[in-house]
Amino acid sequence: MNQLDQLKQYTTVVADTGDFQSMQAFAPQDATTNPSLILKAVQKPEYRPLLDQILQSHKGQSTSVIIDHLLITFGLKILDIIPGRVSTETDARLSFDTHATIEKGRTLIALYEAAGISRERVLIKIASTWEGIRAAEVLEKEGIRCNMTLLFSLPQAIACAEAGAQLISPFVGRIYDWFKKASGEEYSGEQDPGVQSVKRIYAYYKKFGYKTEVMGASFRNTSQIIELAGCDLLTISPDLLQKLSESDEKISRKLSPEQALQSAGEKIHCDEKAFRFMLNADAMATEKLAEGIRLFCADTEKLEQLIIDN
């Protein structure tokens, strides 16, 4: 078997792309999108008719409404391809507004349900700020499942799990980027700080019985992916899925619930004060969270401008 097929024995493989045409070759279970991926997709000629159709059918409506329908249209196309769930992101500009995030989550789910999709097949992506986590807590109680994104630290992961979030997406590659820039060193294998972060979170969840799923995200190379074989899910870009499918090198399971139960560490109390203090004490997580929100906001604004210009 190639590495992708081997990986699927231990981990649920998720396609990280807005390009639904490219996912058919890799047969992922689930798929994730974000504002940057959608912006990239709609600028390709093959998706132009899709954008034109949405602009025509929602002429005169706000850019916010048009973007919601664009996200849902992409999600529906993806759900025609995959057997599992699609993740659709809320506006990153709402990252510090609990009420507005709740309302956006409800709106997106209502649009999916109006199109005949059950809420069990959709994950609403929300930034892992304190405010975002509180929004997820409310939405989860309404049966709206959440994927907590822009997650870079154990305190964020603990707060998400305690809020009952369905799934978290720790960003392996962006953690790696920060440490590489800060130290000037290359990291590989189990020495990779992004890999270590996900392993720590996975072990904590399994040790203390949290049901929240762990989905490693934002990979820079296949080594990071292979080191996390056995993680609940891994969301992988098409280019890295391709590389895995082209290699026959052996993959072994690196994470398991049984192994995690033997891990060291005490349970951490994580109310708002503790969350903010621990996050602030982690320079990498603080900087990457802020940067990630800025980047997603910028791409949302570019998408808005694209709509205005057309």
The rounded distance, in Å, linking the Cα atoms of 275 and 269 is 9
Q: Which residue out of 125, 199, 206, 254 is catalytically annotated? A: 125
Cα dist from 94 to 89, 90, 103, 104, 135, whole Å? 11, 8, 10, 9, 10
- Quote the strand ranges of the chain, DSSP E: 12-16, 30-32, 86-89, 122-127, 146-151, 167-170, 213-216, 233-236
Among candidate residues 147, 69, 61, the one with its CA nearest the CA of residue 101: 147
Residue 179's Cβ-count burial label (10 Å; 0-12, 13-18, 19+) is middle
Q: Residue 14 forms beta bridges with which residues?
A: 30, 235
The rounded distance, in Å, linking the Cα atoms of 144 and 307 is 28
Task: Give Dmax over CA atoms of the chain in angstroms.
Answer: 59
Concatenated DSSP letters for 153-168? SHHHHHHHHHTT-SEE
Q: Indicate if the alpha-carbon torsion angle 67, 68, 69, 73 is positive or negative.
A: positive
Active site residue 199: no
Among candidate residues 111, 118, 125, the one with its CA nearest the CA of residue 169: 125
What amino acid positions are annotated as catalytic residues? 125
